Structure formats: structure tokens, C-alpha cells
């Protein structure tokens, strides 16, 4: 419980706000995933966690480890870069797969084709 590292006060407040913001973003995204009623609506909220949640928590980690190690530590940028690049690819592919399956089955509530 009381294992938190010993940072100066301003850094502790900044890290606390960044972690709370990132966790709140991830929680809002997951609640949206739980509550929306359609797969094509449900595809949108998790990106809140993968974009702003990841950015805020990685910023908190960069700040914390930069002050603890007294030098700039930037490997968390790798996680941000990787999530930002891969999330649109996976979700586009998943949406195309779902659209394909729905059109094969002839479900009525499928988005219209534009062709």
C-alpha cells in the first residue's frame, strides 16, 4: 500500500493527476464497451483507452522514472508509438470481418454499402 516512490511534491501531484486521468479514460472506454448496444457502436469506445489512456499513463511513467533516475527515460514512448500505429489497423480489420460476416448472413441492421 505505501510502496509509492518518494518524489518531490510537485512531481508527485503531476504523476498522480496523469495516472488518474489515464485510468479514468480507460474506465470510460470500458464502460462504453459494456453499455453500447450494437457491434459497430461498440467498436468506438475502447480507442479512448488505447489513445489517451496510454498517452497519459506513459507520460506519468516517463516523469516518474526521469526524476527517480535523474536522467531522461524515454522508452515509454515506444509503447505510445506502437499502440498509436497498431490500434487503427486491428480495429479496421475487425470491422471489415464483422461487416463481411453480417452481409453473408443478410442481417438487416448492417451499415449500407456505398458502391
Partner 1 sequence: MSAQILGLALTLGQLMLGLGLLCATYRLMVGPRAQDRVLGLDSLYVNAMLMLLVFGIRTGKTVYFEAALIIAILGFAATMALAKFLMRGEVIE
Among 86, 88, 103, 111, binds partner 1 (CB under 8 A): 86
Rounded least distance, CB 115 to partner 1, Å: 18
Judged by beta carbon, residue 26 or residue 70, the one nearer partner 1 is 26
Tell which residue, 83, 77, 16, has the closest CA to residue 46.
83
In whole angstroms, what is the distance from residue 26 CA to residue 31 CA?
Answer: 9
The position carrying cell 526521469 is 66
In whole angstroms, what is the distance from residue 115 CA to residue 113 CA?
Answer: 6
Among 43, 52, 66, 110, binds partner 1 (CB under 8 A): 43
Q: Can residue 66 be called a binding residue for partner 1 (CB under 8 A)?
A: no
What's CA 63's distance to the chain center, in Å? 19
Q: Can residue 110 be called a binding residue for partner 1 (CB under 8 A)?
A: no
In whole angstroms, what is the distance from residue 64 CA to residue 61 CA?
Answer: 5
Would you tell me which residues interact with partner 1 (CB under 8 A)? 1-9, 11-13, 15-17, 19-20, 22-24, 26-27, 29-31, 33-34, 39, 42-43, 46, 49-50, 53-54, 57-58, 60-61, 64-65, 68, 75-76, 78-79, 82-83, 86, 89-91, 93-94, 96-98, 100-101
Amino acid at each position: 500500500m505505501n510502496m509509492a516512490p518518494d518524489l518531490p511534491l510537485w512531481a508527485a501531484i503531476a504523476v498522480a493527476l496523469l495516472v488518474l486521468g489515464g485510468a479514468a479514460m480507460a474506465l470510460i472506454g470500458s464502460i462504453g464497451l459494456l453499455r453500447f448496444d450494437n457491434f459497430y457502436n461498440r467498436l468506438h469506445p475502447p480507442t479512448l483507452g488505447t489513445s489517451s489512456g496510454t498517452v497519459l499513463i506513459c507520460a506519468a511513467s516517463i516523469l516518474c522514472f526521469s526524476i527517480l533516475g535523474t536522467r531522461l527515460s524515454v522508452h515509454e514512448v515506444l509503447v505510445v508509438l506502437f499502440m498509436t500505429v497498431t490500434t487503427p489497423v486491428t480495429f479496421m480489420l475487425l470491422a471489415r470481418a464483422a461487416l463481411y460476416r453480417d452481409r453473408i448472413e443478410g442481417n438487416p441492421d448492417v451499415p449500407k454499402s456505398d458502391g
